[in-house]
Amino acid sequence: MGKIMDETQEFSILRVTRVGREEITDRVVTESPLTVWLNGSEVVTLLCSPTWQEPLAVGYLFSEELLRDRSEITALSLDREQGVVHLHTGEGRPPEAMHPAGRVVTSGSARATTSVTLSMPHGLERAQSAVQVTARAVMDLVQQFQHHSEVYMATHGVHSAALSDGERILVFAEDIGRHNAVDKVMGRCMLDGITTDDKLLVLSSRVSSEMLLKAARGRVPIVVSISAPTSLAVSWATDLRITLVGFARDNRMNVYSESWRIRDDG
């Protein structure tokens, strides 16, 4: 219950149904701003859930290619009252000197600010992992994933993301923004030294091109979603040799690329 209290707020509301109306108390997911500073320069303000804010900042900077590795971080601090994260790297370069040019800002959940190129960025490595998982293991994992979020069950107002070894959930994060949820997972993995290049990334949201790129930058070989992929995500997953699974629910799934990583149960 403590997690729910931290991430939600209660409001008195009027509920209207076909049989009448009544005053009730409803629990609503909390939304708050987080401003990320890198080497003394303001990078972005994210609208997010008020938990795992340091991993969110680290994951966001990693997904934007402003941070490459945990070893680059020399200082990381959170001012929870002000909603500000300060991160410093050894080289101390300002963000404008590190950020690739020719970018556009995408729209998405919680005013997502992740920027991507209009074509697949150069320099991304194809997934090399030979890891495989059975179809039954994926279905069992998705069922575990869907029952993992207390906040979703209480509010239906957050997205979830998780990293798994194919049997159990290693890192689980949720946020009002689907991009933020993935960045939290990637940031936590970076801070805790958890390898991602032989793992599965499980998502509650649709897999768009920028979500696929987040997985690619983390060298994740298998992406599983209970929702749908976009055409660009399928195309890029194919090019990057990432196994992309969609509609993984109700004991079925669609495998859109690199299907050899999903083995038969026998």
Which conformational region is residue 223 in: left (phi greater than 0), alpha (psi within -120 to 50 degrees), or beta? beta
Reported confidence tier of residue 39, pLDDT bands at 50, 70, 90: very high
What Å distances lie between residue 211 and 12, 69, 135, 204, 244, CA to CA?
36, 20, 22, 12, 11
Q: Are the C-beta atoms of 76 and 90 separated by less than 8 Å?
A: no
Question: 109 pLDDT exceeds 60?
Answer: no
Mean pLDDT of 124-131: 93
Q: What is the reported pLDDT for 93? A: 67
Q: Are the C-beta atoms of 78 and 37 separated by less than 8 Å?
A: no
167 or 6: whose pLDDT is higher?
167
CA distance 187 to 37: 15
Domain parsing of the chain, residue ranges: 32-116, 133-263
Q: Kindly give the interhelix angle for 178-192 and 53-63, rounded to the nearest 10 degrees.
A: 100
Return the structure tokens found at 137.
């293991």
The CATH fold of domain 32-116 = Ubiquitin-like (UB roll) (3.10.20)
Total-model pTM: 0.88
Question: 102 pLDDT exceeds 50?
Answer: no
Per residue in 134-150, pLDDT (tens digit) is: 999 999 999 999 888 88
Question: 235 pLDDT exceeds 50?
Answer: yes
CATH (one of 3.40.140.10, 3.50.50.60, 3.20.20.80, 2.70.98.40) for 133-263 = 3.40.140.10
For 187, other C-beta atoms within 10 Å of its C-beta total 27
